Structure formats: structure tokens, C-alpha cells
Structure 1
């Protein structure tokens, strides 16, 4: 078993912050990529790599949490947090799947764009080019991906908030004073 410590601190405590920032950021980026084709063309690969990295961080966070749980006294609040901790797995897999689907869409769109001729270039060459037409199937795929990104993103963010709230209660509830201890 690995020693999940960094600079004397439990690694779980540090990795949690990556998840707290990473999950909402990924959810927002996926919605942006679904709704904005120009962003999709440029950012699909970094977002996909970020989603895959977040899956790895999620796995490490859960493992580090289990390591930490074995080293703290049993308490109902810690048990509640541990029970909720793995709820993020399916949401994170869903976000990564949507990121891969958006990436596939971007690849198809980029290949199509390379095949088109710019109207100005075509006119200079004496060619006529019809305006690109929207494909109903493509519009449906984009709409479906947008709805999926909104739904899975909202579920993932809500789940990470719930997990974080239960972890915060486990650590801080009853361990501080309402009033300053010194004047």
C-alpha cells in the first residue's frame, strides 16, 4: 500500500481541492464546447486530456481518503463522508465520456472544414462554392451533447458539493469556537 502523504500532510486533503476546482471547471468547459463551435475546434483536446487527468486524480483522492480513514478514529461524520466519497465516480466517468464525444465531433467537423474551399479563394480561381449547409443530424448531436453536458455537469457539481460538505463537517464540526479565543 502506498504512503499517501505529502510534506507531512495527508494527500487526500490536498487532492480534494483539485476535485473541488476541477469538476465544476470541466462541467462549464464542456457546456461551452458544446454550445460554441469555434471553442470546440480549438479546446477539445485540452478539455479531453483534463477530463482524463481528473479521472486519475479522482481515483487517487478516493484511495488517499481510504488510507486516511484507516488512520483516524471512527466517527459517524467520517463514515458519512466516506460513504458519499465514491458517488463522484460515475459522474466523472460521464464527464469524460462527454469530453470524448465532443472531441470526436470536433475531429469530424475539422475534417469537413479542411475539405471546404474558402469562397474568396474559389472566386479567385473562377470556381463557385455553395454556402455550407447545416446538417440536421449534426444539430441533433450537438443538442444532445449540450443537454448531456448540462445534466451530467450539474449532477457532478452537486455531488462534489455534497461530498465536500460532509467532509468539512467531519473535520470541523464542534472543533472551533464561535468567539475568538484571545483578544
Structure 2
């Protein structure tokens, strides 16, 4: 069994902050990339890699949380928080899937730009006026719109889930453990 400690501190309380910050950041980035082709061209790969890293960190936070739950006194708030923690995994997977779809669109766009930048005489003669002007096809526009909708939906769900889980964890740790009034030290 893995010892989920770093310098005597439970690993869960350290890595969970990466999830709390990373999920809304990735969600926002996916919406931007889905809606903005210029950003997509530059940031699709770092975003996909970041999403995969975030997925690993999410798994680590969940496993470290299970480890920590076994080492603290039983409490209903901790049990509720631990039960909710696993809800983050499917949302993070969904974020990575959206990132992969955005990456695929970016690769297709890149290949089409590259193929269109040096057309032979036959290709240039058969090209439609819309393609000659550099316009995107209606299919690509529809795909980009669907990706924006997916990014907003999955991003909102993932962000709401991480907020809900974080709030339950904060309650488990802090509820009833501090004074309403200063202690006068």
C-alpha cells in the first residue's frame, strides 16, 4: 500500500488544491479554445497535456483522500466528502475528452491550412470561392459550435462538482473547530 504523505502531511490536502484550481482553469481554457481558432492553433497541445496531468492528479487526490479517511476518526461530514470525491473523476475524464476533440479539430484545421497554402494548378482551379477566401466550411463551424456547447456544459458541471466537493471538505475540516470570537492571545 502506498503511503500518501509528504513531509509528514497528508498528500490529499496538498494535491487537492491543484484540482480545485485546475478544473475551472481547464474548463475556461476549453471554452476559449473551442470558440477562438487562433488560440486553438497555439494552445491545443498544452491544454490536452494539462488535462491529462489534471486527470492523474484527480485520481491521486481521490486515492490519497481514501487513505486519509482511514486515518482520521469517523465523522459523517468526512464520509460525505469522501463519497462525493469520486464524482470528480468522470467530470475530469469528460474535460479530457473535450480537450481531445478540440485537439482533433485543431489538427484537421492545420492540415487543411497546410494543404491550402501551396495548391497546385489543378487544385486552385477547382477550389470554391469560399475556400479561396479562406472561409471555414459550414461543417467545421457546426463542429466548433458543438465543441463550445460541450466545453461550456462539461466545464460548468466539472466546476460545480469541484466546488461542491471542496465545500463539503471544508465543512468536514473546519465546521465547529474555530471560535466565533477572537481568542485574545
TM-score, normalized by the shorter chain, greater than 0.5: yes
Q: Work out the CA distance in 1 between the residues paired with 2:92 and 2:117.
A: 39
Q: Note the C-alpha offset of 1:182.
A: 1.4
State the partner residue of 2:98: 98
Q: Work out the CA distance in 1 between the residues paired with 2:117 and 2:164.
A: 51
State the partner residue of 1:81: 81
Q: Work out the CA distance in 1 between the residues paired with 2:178 and 2:7.
A: 25
SS at match of 2:72: coil
1:23-34 pair list within 5 angstroms: 23-34=23-34
State the partner residue of 1:161: 163
1:15-164 pair list within 5 angstroms: 15-117=15-117, 130-164=132-166
TM-score between both structures, scaled by the size of structure 2: 0.91
Q: Note the C-alpha offset of 1:99.
A: 0.2
Matched, 1:180 2:172: no
TM-score between both structures, scaled by the size of structure 1: 0.92
RMSD: 1.6
Q: Work out the CA distance in 1 between the residues paired with 2:136 and 2:100.
A: 22
Number of residue pairs matched by the alignment: 176
Q: Work out the CA distance in 2 between the residues paired with 1:152 and 1:174.
A: 34
Query: What residue ranges of structure 2 are gaps of 5+ in the alignment?
Result: 119-123
Q: Work out the CA distance in 2 between the residues paired with 1:136 and 1:113.
A: 16
Q: Work out the CA distance in 2 between the residues paired with 1:134 and 1:107.
A: 14
Q: Note the C-alpha offset of 1:104.
A: 0.5
Q: Which runs of 4+ in 1 moved over 3 A?
A: none
SS at match of 2:182: coil
Q: Work out the CA distance in 2 between the residues paired with 1:132 and 1:69.
A: 57
Query: What residue ranges of structure 1 are gaps of 5+ in the alignment?
Result: 119-126
Q: Work out the CA distance in 1 between the residues paired with 2:160 and 2:20.
A: 11
Q: Note the C-alpha offset of 1:69.
A: 0.2
